[in-house]
Amino acid sequence: MDPSATPPGGGRSRSAIGRPIDWRYASNRFAVLAALGAGVVAGAAALASGTSFGAAVGWGFQGGANSFLAWAIGRELDPDRPATAAIAAVAAVPLLLLGRIALGAMAAVLLALRLTVRTAGPVPTMLDALLMTGFAGYLGYRGAWPAGFALGIALAASGNDDRRLFGAGALAAGAAVAAAAAAGTADPIPVALSAPEVAAGIAALVAGLAMLQREQPDEVADITGERLQATRLLAGRMLVVLTTATLVFYLAPDPIGAMGPAAAAIIATAITVTIASFR
């Protein structure tokens, strides 16, 4: 977590979902500027390839979202090192060549990680739980039920011994699976991966295993100021690795490109964690 630890309004918000973007910090400014730059590059490249202006705008949005989500996931995976998120934001850009990102699934991965690590601080409110349950059901309907299921698991584990949140998490996970079953999207989709996709997928998997190290974060939660827990950080990393590995079988036709933000963040985290381990 980079040091944007004081949210606007003095931390009165109790939601566990959102985290602020504070322009006082260079890492936050970099994230926004990198996303804008990635969007411009993606849009310009699309125009240069002969696509229509409308399609180029769509690719520009994809490029910006890809970079920003990679940064956001990276700062959750490695709270102590802002460089990790910055590397992820840049590494995500070329992965857009492998296909459009799955915005819903990647947003769910980000939220599941945030709830697990508790980087915002508070336990989720009932409104948070309601929103996450609806989102999980939507993801199941759209064919990304593993992301919705992960969101439910994170919600259930976010409240420690809170039975209400455990029940809400179980409901969210069940909603993802039930919606997928009802929509006929519960079965894996056979897909033939290209050589670049296989290479990127293997790199992300190896990196995912490399980053599964127990580290005690020095950073504190944004709102409550509580020190982050090593157990929760490791659990969050494991959840991301398992979820993205499973999503490969559901985000056809370009699963690696669809998971570009998560893949970039995993690789960036593995790099910085590995370097730190040799110091």
Q: How many CB atoms lie within 10 A of CB 129?
A: 25
Structure-token pair, residue 147: 């992301």
Q: Name which of 6-10, 29-33, 62-66, 213-217 the model is least confident about.
A: 6-10
CA distances from residue 30 to 82, 90, 98, 137 in whole angstroms, order as listed: 10, 10, 24, 34
User: Which ranges constitute the DSSP H helices of 159-259?
Assistant: 163-183, 195-210, 230-247, 255-258
pLDDT higher for 254 or 103? 103
Average pLDDT of the residues in 206-233: 90
> Within a 13 Å sphere around the CA of 3, how many CA atoms are in the beta-carbon half?
3
Residues ≥6 apart with Cβ < 8 Å to 71: 31, 34, 35, 85, 86, 88, 89, 265
Phi-psi label, residue 76: left if phi above 0, alpha if psi -120 to 50, beta otherwise: alpha
Enumerate the H helices of the chain as residue ranges: 26-48, 53-77, 82-95, 103-117, 126-141, 145-158, 163-183, 195-210, 230-247, 255-258, 260-277
Higher pLDDT pick, 268 / 22: 268
Letter for the amino acid at 117? V
68-82 tens-digit pLDDT? 999 999 999 999 999
> How far from 140 is each of 131, 147, 149, 162, 240, CA to CA, in Å?
14, 8, 8, 25, 17
Q: Could you give the 3-state DSSP secondary structure of residue 112?
A: helix
* 170: pLDDT strictly greater than 70: yes
Average pLDDT over every residue of 141-145: 95
pLDDT in tens, 88-127: 999 999 999 998 999 999 999 999 999 999 998 888 998 9
Question: Contact at 8 Å (CB) between 145 and 185?
Answer: yes
